[in-house]
Amino acid sequence: MQFGDAVIYNGGAGKERQLAFVRGGTGDQTDLAILSPSGVQFEDNVPRRDPSDYGPEGGGRTWHPAK
């Protein structure tokens, strides 16, 4: 992903499917700016994981491309 690309962030436990934007990182470990109801928050080194790979534990702290 490139700087500014829109992605979907999954922070788990009520923070699923939040809009986020790539702000850095390399490969599948990406730094994000997440738009949350309380404002913008920053998360570093968030791993990429497709929703189809989520198990019963949920997805955890992950992101996947917005489609």
Higher pLDDT among residues 15 and 21, named by residue: 21
Whole-structure pTM value: 0.84
Tokens 């570093």 -> residue: 44
Domain boundaries, the chain: 6-65
Summarize pLDDT for 46-61 with one digit per residue, the tens: 999 887 777 666 667 8
What's the whole-number average pLDDT of the chain? 87
52: three-class secondary structure by DSSP: helix
